[in-house]
Structure 1
Amino acid sequence: MGPPKSGRAISQQAFDEMVKENMEDLGMDPTEALQDAIQTLTLQGVDLSGIVTCVPGESNPVMECLDKLKQLNGNWSDLNHVEDENAVNEIVELLEELYDMCEDKGSGNAAIATKNGGIELLISICTKLRNGFDRGLVSSLKTIAFLLHDLQSTEIFRESGGPKIVVGILHDGRHDISILDSSFSVVAAASTGNEVLKESFMELKIDELIVQILKEHDGGSIPSVYNAICILLTSDDNRVVASQVFGYARKFAKLGIAEVLVDSLREGISSPSLVSASIALKAVAVNDEICRSVAYNGGIDAILHCIDNSGLHGNNTVARAFCSLLSKLAGSDENKGAIVEKQGMDTLIKLSSRFFDDPSVLQEVMYLISILCLRSPENAARAIESGAGDLAIQVMQTFPDLDQLQRNSCLMIRNLVVRNPENRTLLLGNGIEALLRKAKGSHKSCKNAATDALRDLGLDNYNL
């Protein structure tokens, strides 16, 4: 969901009147009148999203589709009792047509549909298609997800009773993967940037439903469920001073979500939803207890296996995601020891050698090693034995212009030496001082991290 529009709004009627005045009062032809209205209003900072900008006399396909759907929807109080199968098929075809038009994000069709009652209409249709018309229901839900593109649209969804209806559909459609996936797409879209809707879904016990559904189905076949988990646990509504998402994560954890998500990771590198599952698990791991529960359920073994496989298969997306997840879990001191005991350092050094031409992976590796060595001289010693010192030197020499990678290298060097005097001599002998000073002078973001590293290397002139 993009940021809210800051421009002034205009109604469709006012826009049409402006075009009409250009034609009647200024003698412009229809095309010229339309373009002049658009240009004038744009220069004035007016928000034209959702406005139908057709030449007078031309029809808009989105509006035509909505009008037909409104007419058909209004003809029957309950589509489950419609005897005319052709009418039902027509509704389904129109829904798929609307979906195709709204899927094109650059077209502005989603905003037009939203501004002209599309969300309310589709919610009404969903209530009538819940039993026996799965194809139409899936199309309705998928289209609703596209229409929920900003705060205004998600509020329309909330005021129309959307959360209760969608959760009801999830309960009823637990047997159908397509219905589950399209429903969770709506949950994710509606909850993005809207704390009130997150709360609404949680009050409807969607956390319990998610865990149950993941236990019943292969999560890889319902990719949107992982996105829904992430969004529900992300504090992204700037209207709210104190988000409740931390508490929601704890509720998920008590229901056993860690074990379920770890099982999803065991599907391995071939799973199309592997990265999404890892991101969802990272969102859940908000405190030490939950991080330890992930390890208790075999999460560290599964993550290290995925990291190793990502290197074998050259999959940098998986490599980045799982290093990031492991960094989150390594926030628990107990997990740090477990990661190192399971040859985690060796796995990371091996990964870095396989992806040495990919700074984005190296950046995650360096940060993860720095976390593992934080307040742990034993892990720092093991890191040096595995080659972390050599890695830092090679990375700083090879990528001098990448500020974040240089900064992560500085952080790692500091944690390697702050409690391990023996590591200082080794690194200084290999020229780390010059590299740290170069990073400090070249990148503003590295100044503090490089200064701290120079100080903990035992250098008196670390501030220079």
Structure 2
Amino acid sequence: MASRRITQETFDSVVRENMIEFEMEPEEALKEAIQQFESQGVDLVNVVKTVQNFSSDDSNQKHHVLQVLDALQKALDMLALDEMEEHLTHFTEQCSLNFAHRHLAAEKSAYSTVLSSCRTMMSDGQRLLKGVQGLAALLDGQPDLLDLEGQHLLLDILKQHQELAALNAATFRAIHHSCLKHEQNRQDLVQRGVLPLLTGAIVRHGTSADVVREAAGVLRVMTYDDDIRVPFGHAHDHAKMIVMENNGLRVIIEAAKAFTENPTVLSELCCTLSRLAVRNEFCQDIVDLGGLNFMVALLADCIEHRELVRQVLGAFRAIAGNDEVKDAIVNAGGTDLIMLAMNRHMGSPQVCEQGCAALSMLALRKPENCRVIMEAGGAFLTLQAMKSHPAEVNVQKQACMLLRNLVARKPDFSQLILELGAEVLIRQAKATHQDCEDLAKAALRDLGCNLELRELWTGQKGDISR
């Protein structure tokens, strides 16, 4: 059952009542109101939980974010640009506190006020930056706010102020927030030409970490299919457009070379490459453009940076969908580096998951690669990952898949893997995680273990077995 919601006014009135009627101290009144609503099953995620300066003759005291918004609107009405810039800075700070502040501001027409402020300051890039930062903060978690006027504004900013790196980065952040879990915004912005503006900015501001990071993030979000309100999205089509029409793979790989000392930017770029490897030829293109050699060197040099390691392993997993690329990764020493990374970060379930998944892809339909993985101790490392993270379903699933792939075309490896204790761990994963059941059964079957397979339906008249 969906959680109940209340308005900000309802919550504030209860806090006020606790303070005035029951003579509670402000913090006590706030705590009591929170406990009261939560005990009733009310979700307070959209409520600002702060104490206002209530008094018996002051029932209209506003939260600070609304006070700032009112001040911004007055400055906008008077076209007081200096004051607008100051109020937008404070507004951004308030919206950055949490979702409740952003939600409350949106309910009081903040979007139209901030959008009008940006239009007013359109010719002054430095002032406009404050407006776009406020817009980006407001859109975080509220992509439905963006309308046609807002889309045109964001694109106009990118077209008219191409030389301003900071403004470009802030605009990309606003676009990113407006496209997360919002398929229509993605499709609209792509149709109106956002993709060449993104890749063009990466090339133009290739040494700006903020621009490259934010632009890569937007390119990636255009390939998401995360809006549950639509039956299907255009994720695959957008990925193809980025690669085929906007030279996205080359742009990203070339951009990465400027940030060899910046793991954060490199993580974004590797993650984006993973999202673009949606076709067999794209995987090969990444290799041909030098992307594989770059990532292999990157993994060797930055083995201590856990997040970057995770993203590189994810990229290996993605491009290994191409059988020829599988061999290229193995020949480049990728197998040893993947296992080195897993061993170094065995405490991270995310690294273990991506490492097992990458090795699983390398082993799929490739008996020779299976031999390389086994000789390097891949089976032992996989079982160590299963032991280290018994509660992590994704680690267990990827490990079961890897073990299955290692013996599917090389049954001679079964006995060695079983001697390492694989059967107990696989059965434990099967019993613990329902989502892991099918993969665990496949692994047990191909390892030659006894497995009870229930016949759910025999084709005879009667009820289906349960």
Normalization by structure 1: what TM-score? Answer: 0.83
> Separation in 2 of the partners of 1:44 and 1:310?
47
**TM-aligned CA distance change 1:195 to 1:428, over 3 Å:** closer
Q: 1:65 matched to which residue of 2?
A: 68
Q: 1:169 matched to which residue of 2?
A: 157
Deviation readout 1:201-226 (Å, 9 max, x if unpaired): 11221001111111111262312222
**What SS does structure 1 have at the residue aligned with 2:262?**
coil
* CA shift for structure 1 position 7: 4.4
> Separation in 1 of the partners of 2:22 and 2:430?
63
**TM-aligned CA distance change 1:211 to 1:29, over 3 Å:** same
Q: 2:83 matched to which residue of 1?
A: 90
> Separation in 2 of the partners of 1:209 and 1:280?
16
**What SS does structure 2 have at the residue aligned with 1:58?**
coil
**TM-aligned CA distance change 1:144 to 1:463, over 3 Å:** same
> Separation in 1 of the partners of 2:72 and 2:301?
49
Q: Quick one: which amino acid aligns to residue 338 of structure 2?
A: L
**TM-aligned CA distance change 1:99 to 1:301, over 3 Å:** same
Any residues of structure 2 matched to 1:137-216 within 5 Å, and which? Answer: 137-150=128-141, 153-159=142-148, 161-216=149-204
Q: 1:100 matched to which residue of 2?
A: 93
**TM-aligned CA distance change 1:246 to 1:424, over 3 Å:** same
**TM-aligned CA distance change 1:445 to 1:131, over 3 Å:** same
**TM-aligned CA distance change 1:199 to 1:429, over 3 Å:** closer
- Structure 1 contact 285–328 (Cα < 8 Å) conserved: yes
* CA shift for structure 1 position 288: 1.9
Deviation readout 1:86-118 (Å, 9 max, x if unpaired): x32222111111111221116x32222211111
Q: Give unmatched runs, 5+ long, in structure 1.
A: 77-86
The answer on 1:225 being equivalent to 2:212 is: no
**What SS does structure 1 have at the residue aligned with 2:350?**
helix
* CA shift for structure 1 position 274: 1.4
> Separation in 2 of the partners of 1:59 and 1:399?
48
> Separation in 2 of the partners of 1:27 and 1:455?
70
> Separation in 1 of the partners of 2:269 and 2:435?
32
**TM-aligned CA distance change 1:399 to 1:95, over 3 Å:** closer
Q: 1:250 matched to which residue of 2?
A: 240
**TM-aligned CA distance change 1:155 to 1:441, over 3 Å:** closer
> Separation in 2 of the partners of 1:98 and 1:355?
40
- Structure 1 contact 50–113 (Cα < 8 Å) conserved: no
> Separation in 2 of the partners of 1:68 and 1:128?
16
* CA shift for structure 1 position 403: 4.7
> Separation in 1 of the partners of 2:264 and 2:84?
32
**TM-aligned CA distance change 1:37 to 1:405, over 3 Å:** closer
Q: Quick one: which amino acid aligns to residue 72 of structure 1?
A: A
Any residues of structure 2 matched to 1:63-462 within 5 Å, and which? Answer: 63-76=66-79, 87-105=80-98, 108-132=100-124, 134-150=125-141, 153-159=142-148, 161-218=149-206, 220-222=209-211, 223-254=213-244, 255-266=246-257, 267-311=259-303, 314-396=304-386, 402-441=392-431, 443-459=433-449, 461-462=450-451
Q: Quick one: which amino acid aligns to residue 307 of structure 1?
A: L
- Structure 1 contact 99–142 (Cα < 8 Å) conserved: yes
- Structure 1 contact 269–309 (Cα < 8 Å) conserved: no
The 10-residue stretch of structure 1 (88-97 or 442-451) with the greater mean CA deviation from structure 2: 442-451
Percent identity between the aligned chains?
A: 23
**What SS does structure 2 have at the residue aligned with 1:174?**
coil
Q: Quick one: which amino acid aligns to residue 174 of structure 1?
A: Q
> Separation in 1 of the partners of 2:352 and 2:35?
48
The 10-residue stretch of structure 1 (278-287 or 184-193) with the greater mean CA deviation from structure 2: 278-287
> Separation in 2 of the partners of 1:435 and 1:53?
52
Q: Quick one: which amino acid aligns to residue 103 of structure 1?
A: S
* CA shift for structure 1 position 444: 4.4
- Structure 2 contact 346–388 (Cα < 8 Å) conserved: no
Q: 1:84 matched to which residue of 2?
A: none
RMSD: 3.4
**What SS does structure 2 have at the residue aligned with 1:273?**
helix
**TM-aligned CA distance change 1:261 to 1:398, over 3 Å:** same
- Structure 2 contact 3–41 (Cα < 8 Å) conserved: no
**TM-aligned CA distance change 1:114 to 1:406, over 3 Å:** closer
- Structure 2 contact 198–215 (Cα < 8 Å) conserved: yes
